[in-house]
Chains A and B, each alone.
Chain A
Amino acid sequence: MTQEHPPLTEGVYYILLALFDARHGYGIMQLVEEMSNGRVRLGAGTIYGAIKTLLERGWIEALDGDGRKKEYIITESGKKVIGYEILRLRELFDNGIRITKEDGTNG
């Protein structure tokens, strides 16, 4: 597995996942909170900043629509990034389970 960028923050990872369907800011916030059972509550300023950066990188794009409630959707390169991230998370997960199992700390 080769990855050309550092690990994503939890917020960016969830924002990208939320944008597999077109959503506006509020929709992103709600879905992320729902997916994480209320654990991850993204701040409006944080989402806004992330959207700006993700647009610049071409990982998401804005859909045409009325200006007020702009919707965004993930791009192909964004999906590639998510793919890499899932592989990285699986590596972390697998190694964590393997070593803690051997040790007996994880039951």
Chain B
Amino acid sequence: MEKRVYRCFLDYEKEEAWVNDMAEQGWYLKRTMVGYFIFEKGEPGQYIYRNELVKGKKQDYYDFLETMNIEFVSKFGVWAYYRKKKSEGPFELFSDNPSKIKYLTSISRLFIAAILLNLLFGFINLYMGLGESTERFLNIGVSILNFVVVIIVCMQILKVARRKKGLQRELHIFEA
């Protein structure tokens, strides 16, 4: 049995938590695209899921994960999902603060790129919308959409920055 769900998450951690909630109920993620999830029915509570930003990751990384009994589930763009049998104990991709901080930094970079891109297109569309464009309302509409995205991603960046700062403060007194 399959279940298809449309659901949009602004926060990648909340999305991961929701996917794990579904797994607890026996719905196992099979494929994902932005805002679209395909689940498969199974015995509840068998797997733990993790998502990861995998920009620049090569095949040898997935091979490595596979040797650690981590199953690759789905990848869309730069986001991947993995799962591991719950019976094998806790499953975290990163176990110490330096590697967690490094990961959060790469997420911030992606968010900043998204902001710059949306700002650029936002201003281009605004400029066209205020000018002689034949599609003035469409241009203005799209530019408003671009600016809304900028605000949402800014909020996510602040959240990531706060978490990173907390981890960095711990590094002042703890080795890892």
CB of A5 within 8 A of chain B? no
Within the complex, what minimum Cβ distance (angstroms) separates B102 from chain A?
7
Residues 1-47 (chain A) with a chain B CB within 8 angstroms: 7, 9-11, 24-26, 29, 40-47
Q: Does B34 contact A (CB under 8 A)?
A: no
Contact-size category for B: 20 to 34
Report yes or no: B70 in contact with A44, Cβ–Cβ below 8 A.
yes
Interface residue? A107 (CB, 8 A) = no
Interface string of B83-118 (1 = CB under 8 A from A): 000000110111110110011000000000000000
Q: Check A26–B69 contact: CB distance below 8 A.
A: yes
Write the nearest CB–CB distance from A1 to chain B, whole angstroms: 18
Decide: A11 and B176 in contact? CB cutoff 8 A: yes
Would A26 and B95 count as touching, CB distance under 8 A? no
| Least CB separation from A8: chain B residue | B175
Does the CB pair A46–B89 fall under 8 Å? no
The B53-102 residues at the A interface (CB cut-off 8 A) are 60-61, 63-70, 89-90, 92-96, 98-99, 102
Question: Using a CB–CB distance below 8 Å, which chain B residues touch chain A?
Answer: 52, 60-61, 63-70, 89-90, 92-96, 98-99, 102-103, 175-176
Further pairs besides A10-B175, A25-B64: 17, Cβ < 8 Å: A9-B98, A9-B175, A9-B176, A11-B96, A11-B176, A24-B67, A25-B68, A26-B69, A43-B92, A43-B99, A45-B99, A46-B93, A46-B94, A46-B95, A47-B68, A49-B102, A67-B60
